[in-house]
Amino acid sequence: DIQMTQSPSSLSASVGDRVTITCQASQDISNYLNWYQQKPGKAPKLLIYDASNLETGVPSRFSGSGSGTDFTFTISSLQPEDIATYYCQQYDLFGGGTKVEIK
Amino acid sequence: QVQLVQSGAEVKKPGASVKVSCKVSGYTLTELSMHWVRQAPGKGLEWMGGFDPEDGETIYAQKFQGRVTMTEDTSTDTAYMELSSLRSEDTAVYYCATKNYGDYYFDYWGQGTLVTVSS
């Protein structure tokens, strides 16, 4: 079975900072890696699909990269409204999540 | 634009069953691959199962095999998830979520249904 390792589990950054989250698969998953944002009490929201494609309507400060086993999600300039938990997902498996807070 | 509207919160006793519904609008159920994901309080997302268009069958996560049944009523575009033999660890928010055929990501989500299992 494929394992997904997401890190860090939490981070604290200042407004305007560049934030990076990684997701590592235990075997090659090509570009089948997606990223979601979940705010408290809300359903997850798709941000990035197929590793690097920005979902319609999502701000361009969000981006994704990678292929094979190593993937990166980046917020280029953290905004207060980005406070949330972020998850990577491959087919039927989600990463453990990264809680992003403002310093 | 797909909209998914789920049924309301439920409180069940251990050993009981719960059936959560998910009404689709904007598309028909036959155009979508419906899945269910749950989230225990303070925990991450856990895929429970969904329709696999490549096989034409509903597949379930091994953890829930024998306890979960996912069905669809195409006449009303409503999907259902029934979980039986409930235990306290099943207390969670249950989400329906859809994929387009050929895609591997969940682009639309219901608002979630809280199921509380308590004696």
Residue range A72-82, pLDDT digits in tens: 999 999 999 99
Chain A neighbors of B109, CB-CB under 8 A: 43-45
Three-class DSSP category at B63: helix
Residue range B24-67, pLDDT digits in tens: 999 999 999 999 999 999 999 999 999 998 888 999 999 999 99
| pLDDT at residue B27, as a whole number | 93
User: What is each CA distance from B17 to A7, B12, B81, in whole angstroms?
Assistant: 36, 7, 10
| pLDDT at residue B36, as a whole number | 98
Q: Which of residues 1-20 of A touch B (CB under 8 A)?
A: none
Instruction: Judge whether residue A96 has pLDDT over 90.
Output: yes
**Taken in order A2, B113, A39, A59, is the CA torsion positive or negative?**
positive
| pLDDT at residue B85, as a whole number | 98
A89 touches chain B (CB under 8 A): yes
CB nearest to B106's CB, from A46, A50, A96 = A46
| pLDDT at residue B101, as a whole number | 85
Q: How far is A12 from chain B (nearest CA, A)?
A: 18
Residue range B55-103, pLDDT digits in tens: 889 999 999 999 999 999 999 999 999 999 999 999 999 999 999 888 8
Q: Please give the interface size between A and B, counted as residue pairs whose CB atoms are below 8 Å apart.
A: 49
* Closest to B87 (Cα-Cα) out of B113, B65, B119: B119
A44 touches chain B (CB under 8 A): yes
Q: Which residue has the higher pLDDT, A68 or B54?
A: A68
CB nearest to A97's CB, from B44, B105, B112 = B44
| pLDDT at residue B102, as a whole number | 84
pLDDT, averaged across chain A: 97
| pLDDT at residue B54, as a whole number | 85
| pLDDT at residue B55, as a whole number | 87
